[in-house]
Amino acid sequence: MKHTNQETHVDGQAAQYLTFMLGGEAFGIGIMAVKEIIEFSGITEVPMMPDSIRGVINLRGAVVPVMDLAARFGRPQSVPGKRTCIVIVELEHDGERQLTGVVVDAVSAVLDIPAADIEPAPSFGTRIRGDFIAGMGKVNGKFVILLNVNQVLALDGLPDLAADDALHA
């Protein structure tokens, strides 16, 4: 990975993305949301969860839901392989920080993608919901689907793992 001074966040012109593979396609998540990457293990299944929630993990004493991105995109649940891992993403939701694990087939690299190399999401031709895509990053002549993690990982509409929001609804 080559870095040039010109690419380094001139007026926010370049951003870093963690890129990963899922079902043979390349995806990216803004690096600022990524907290860590851990091995795929120790997932406890939770009854009555939708297919897109694999279960929960214990991350240093915190209960963290784990989302299967393939299932979230309407595909069959991913089958864990040697390079399967869980990307821990931190989002702010209603003023609180929420950790969510995301199952991916393999983590690729952290890439600088200049804003000029990011196209808007196409309105057709992708196999995932348009609101899940923040843009299409061009890297070495190929596209990386840049995910809108706030939309993809929104647990709204999914059964609440803590179940206390249901009391306030």
Whether residue 6 is contained in a domain is answered as no
Whether residue 1 is contained in a domain is answered as no
Q: What is the CATH number of the domain that holds 34?
A: 2.40.50.180
* SS3 state of residue 152: helix
Whether residue 4 is contained in a domain is answered as no
The total domain count for the chain is 1
Alpha-carbon distance of 157 to 8, in angstroms, equals: 38
Whether residue 159 is contained in a domain is answered as no
| CA angle centred on 150, ends 26 and 12, rounded to 5° | 75
pLDDT attached to residue 165: 38
Give the mean pLDDT of 110-129. Answer: 83
Whether residue 99 is contained in a domain is answered as yes
**Entry field: residues in the chain:** 169
| CA angle centred on 70, ends 119 and 98, rounded to 5° | 80
Domain span including residue 125: 14-152
Whether residue 168 is contained in a domain is answered as no
Whether residue 104 is contained in a domain is answered as yes
pLDDT tier at 77 (50, 70, 90 boundaries)?
confident
Is pLDDT above 70 for 9? Answer: no
Question: pTM score > 0.75 for this model?
Answer: yes
Whether residue 122 is contained in a domain is answered as yes
